[in-house]
Structure 1
């Protein structure tokens, strides 16, 4: 019971990865705020049914949960999500920023609305909910954030400029929270999940290579991400903050973070011509290739 006595808000927990994390945290002893607007993958519509299904599962297993259907994408509604935890259970200890939508589109065809809507839910939503919880975390001098990033942002992917930018931004947000709130014993970490869910069901499967990739992903259920989320939210991870992890079937990965890898020096400074003549050849072997997530994680999950 790693989370005995703790209260967790799990956004986007009406299904998929969020539901499995909510179930696992409840099984570990936490009281859960199930936040979900019940929208489609693209963010349209509203339904309380997904959240109600998660609540029923938690209660069938002896846990406690309440439902909140506020959007993460607005500051005032994000504050209501966090206040729901305090009003219902007296405190808040854990925030899992999992809510998300997809509006995939090749970059040169992406509309401003497709860009803004994804940024609003993923990046703004992660900030708003975290910022609302930070007030309570500071006063009690404890708390944990678990944010969902993605290899689409950490590595790259086709047709996901909006999603990739948001997810890489979340990694930077998490690091900033970890630095700024360390003095209050608050931790912030990221998970880059691998799982077959609504968020991956839209991956194209037209070519033989794409079909093979989708088949690999389909083997990884959303529940594979829950143990890591429970660990990171618990006191067992009290020394872990500012890190990025990925669970992939039975594998766990720790991601590196951007650091200088090569340098060159010119005593008299640089001209464009000297950069082309000296710096480019020195740097070329260190260039990061234009990989996609599927190129880097190319082996079958076991």
Structure 2
């Protein structure tokens, strides 16, 4: 039997690419340079499925121009806001994503952001690397303790719950807002706030863990920042579109917000120059799932789902659209 053909738009972990070449006719991208829309359309001619990443913006116009041979879009991500789902539904394309397998790595990265922002790690490292450190001083780079503080979690799904579990190790008091309250066994003592405004008022640390949707886009704006306790710390390892960056920058400059830890940005990969220049920002380049184990698991999960699809079975990780 002829193997289905998969167009792969970016480099993937070696084990994933090897399995793709074993199970499929895999058109890989050895240069790892993102394809333009025109290149993606041209290279997809004859492909049965696309395996894309967050850097690929599949607009309605692009999807409409895909060849009829394409039956599925597999995205190497847990988010899928870079895909026009209505256009995919109209074309009857299956959209497959990678929930679950990146939970632990992203939760680890969230705690890295939280600690890095609270303890002024970026400033400390820059001081050391510049050669300007003159030795310990009792008042130098004083940060904020994490132990015993109130952590507000906006979005208590898999990742939010994993972050809460880790934060309890620091004896943090967990508060959260979610579309639905969790059952007691999953809350584990966390305080539910039905109104997000009430969550903000008690969040010494605020960590964002909701998907990017029309309802959550621009969630953290000037009016909501004003509700946070003075000198709060904001963490975002979810989506850059959740924050109005100009409002956040103003709050960092005024001191309303003591610091931020960010792994995602409004206009990736173009990071606002003010965020890069401010001293009270701890920044990572979208590393939330960037471990060998997790990125490999993400790729294998997509292949499992594609195998099911081409075997005439229902893939487990279909995005529900339409």
**Could you tell me the TM-score, scaled by structure 2's length?**
0.36
Larger helix percent: 1
